[in-house]
């Protein structure tokens, strides 16, 4: 399991992995599988989780599932804030820390979504609708 590996890598690896999970769910990226996560080997020998890459909304391609289970579910429309928190707790993150991370990201998301839409005027309306629906779903029970 990725979380088990990351727990022994660096103290920030699991919290970062949680943030990455939230971003993937938020943008409805059903293609966020294990090979989309990498470790960076610093010259000091310290391993860290690499920045996110290969992030996209897969709903326009009729991919309605996440590549890895989140609290026993795979359908994007069933991944809620509570499920994300439960998954993080299963990894060993405290419920409070998971809730704080999720709340912070969801608070910052609307302005990030608006900025991204402004910077990419040709983005399909269905992508923005999908992202906003995911944001609402993650906010409902978190």
Provide the mean pLDDT of the chain: 91
CA distances from 41 to 47, 48, 136 (A): 5, 7, 37
- Nearest CA among 17, 8, 23, 2 for reference residue 116: 23
Q: Which tens digits make up the pLDDT trace of 129-138?
A: 999 999 999 9
Prediction pTM value: 0.91
d(CA 112, CA 109): 5
Q: Where are the domains of the chain?
A: 2-140
């Amino acid at each position: 399991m990725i979380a088990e590996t990351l727990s022994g890598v660096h103290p920030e690896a699991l919290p970062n992995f949680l943030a990455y999970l939230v971003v993937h769910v938020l943008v409805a990226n059903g293609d966020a599988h294990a090979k989309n996560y990498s470790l960076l080997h610093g010259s000091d020998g310290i391993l860290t989780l690499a920045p996110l890459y290969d992030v996209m909304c897969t709903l326009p391609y009729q991919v309605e599932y996440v590549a890895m289970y989140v609290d026993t579910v795979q359908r994007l429309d069933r991944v809620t804030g509570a499920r994300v928190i439960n998954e993080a707790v299963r990894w060993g993150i405290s419920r409070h820390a998971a809730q704080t991370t999720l709340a912070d990201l969801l608070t910052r998301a609307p302005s990030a979504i608006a900025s991204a839409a402004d910077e990419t005027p040709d983005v399909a309306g269905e992508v923005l609708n999908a992202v906003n629906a995911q944001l609402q779903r993650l906010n409902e029970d978190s």
